[in-house]
Amino acid sequence: MGVKTRPGRSESPSFFAWPARWRLVVAATSGVILALSFTGWYIAVFAWVCVALLLLAVFGARTGIAAACGFLHGLVFVLVSLCWISAVIEVHGGASPAAAIGVLLLIAAAWGVLTGLFTWAVNQVAAKSGSRACLAAPFLWVALEFLRDHLPRVGFPWNLLGYPAAANLALVQLTAITGIFGLSFVVAGYNSLLAWTVLPRTGSVPRRRRFAVFGGVTLILAVIAFAGPRFVPQARAAYWARLAQPNLPEEMVYPPDWYAAHQSDLEEMERISLAPGAHVLDLLVWPESPGPFSFQDARYAALANSLARTARVPFLSGVIEWKRDPSGPASRLLPYNSAVLLDAQGRRIFSYDKVHLVPFGEYEPFPLIHRVVTSVSSEVGGFAPGHVYSVGAFPNGRRFGVFICYEAVFPGEVREFTAGGAELLINLSNDGWFGRSAAPAQHLRMARVRAVENRRWLLRDTNNGYTVSVDPYGRIRARLAPDERSAIDAPYDFRSGRTLYIRWGDWIAWLCVVVSALILLSGRGKKRAAARPR
């Protein structure tokens, strides 16, 4: 018995003839299960199969149902894996619970639209050939991830498909060639292969041969994943940094007596920063500013100068820099989220102003909706962006790049530092705004991949976790427990080699964009040709 569809569209016998409601259920389920690769127990294997479920829900569906499947998948994925967004907006953004949930739903809906574009495109290709749709799916998936990375002013490449696989020490090495988008392509490709394997009929390839191909690929990946880590080289470190974790409470407004109220906290921070250790230190680091720390404030300037001179090593600290507005009156000062380096004599020798600010947190991406945004929260915006991915130099001449908090999730932007000559990467962050949600762990998992992509040591210093040292192959070599005031002596070194990713950037993502465009244009061309009168 045939399945009724709209005119011009028929249910292909090579696809599963599921009712629309079951397709939507499968799509939503795949989104929930995929989210568990990024939260909870972080079950990485789910990322290798959930997109296949989504593809099977889409193949043979009506166009509208296919797009709805993708939308639903993306919507529930965000609500499960990024539910912390509403808590951050409510607790630290001053928004009402209803407004916080509304913002989360808005983000989830936008994510769903992009995933809906993916399933719509796959569905269009599948109308001609299931095999071609499986072949096209990895290119389309990565192209839309890349679009999410580059959305003007609101790019959000959080929880890309390749990150669960990147937790494996062997698999993550691919990112030194392709960046994280290459690993997303591999995972999406495996999902497509799984979908192709279980389809009832796909062209002239018998199911037995398809299962043989799938089994062979699975075996190769399993061998790499389980045996490969032992062949990953060990990196030696010749330097040591003291990474201080203040664990100061988050405050939306700093009162005039903040320094007096937190005198004991600052004294304890000095003690742990200067305490004798088992290693001769080469660097002292404080994280993204967890207090009213500014070199325009004489109290902090004196504290930082004393720390550098007493430790007798360079001191890198996250601060708020107040600078004159270049386009406004001379008396107007703008705040920048910055990092400043002092030498061992307490002299300021380098500064970096955060380039990629957090949308709706550190700046308003759409000034025209200022009234709407401020009606949700009066704490939105205010920071000015930097414009240069500055590379600094220590007194010994070795070069480093420092990126701040949210910038860690943008692979192409971190690459700007190593392409500019940075031999060491330093990430300053204040993940205290996330509370004890899944966000700090997700943030660390993404930042760790930046070390591998660029084959650089990464020193990551946070206010309350996770403070770590990562070697150029992705091993965490030193770690502080979250939610405690402490410091750790972290190993690091300098490397000047250039990976293929440093040289070529996101070449595989651009390849996917080009191939996806050709796929879609080819489909439109065939439709136009078919519509011409004969």
Q: Which residues are catalytic?
A: 288, 354, 405
For 256-413, strand residue ranges (E) read 283-285, 315-324, 333-342, 348-353, 391-393, 399-404
Q: Give the residue among 314, 309, 316 at the shortest CA–CA distance from 338.
A: 316
Q: β-pairing, 333-342 with 315-324?
A: antiparallel
Q: Which residues contact 389 (CB under 8 A, 6 or more apart)?
A: 355, 401, 413, 416, 417, 420
Question: What one-character-per-residue DSSP string does 15-44 give?
Answer: S----HHHHHHHHHHHHHHHHTTTSTT--G
Compute the distance between CA of residue 442 and CA of residue 434 in angstroms, rounded to an integer. Answer: 11
CA distance 430 to 248: 10
Sequence-ordered alpha helix ranges (H) in 380-479: 411-419, 439-454
In the block, residue with structure tokens 């220590």: 394
DSSP code for 229? G
Token pair in block for residue 113: 């639209």
**Phi and psi based region of residue 483 (left: phi greater than 0; alpha: psi -120 to 50; beta: remaining):** left
d(CA 273, CA 242): 7
Cβ proximity of 272 and 244 under 8 Å: yes
The residues facing 111 across adjacent strands are none
The C-alpha atoms of residue 302 and residue 111 are separated, in whole angstroms, by 47
Q: At what angle do helices 507-531 and 97-126 cross, to 10 degrees?
A: 60
User: Which residues on neighbouring strands pair with residue 489, listed in sequence order?
Assistant: 242
Closest by CA position to 99, among listed 358, 367, 362, 379 = 379
Our separate counts of H helices and E strands in the chain read 18, 12
User: Quick one: DSSP state of residue 367?
Assistant: G
Closest CA to 288 of 461, 141, 165: 461
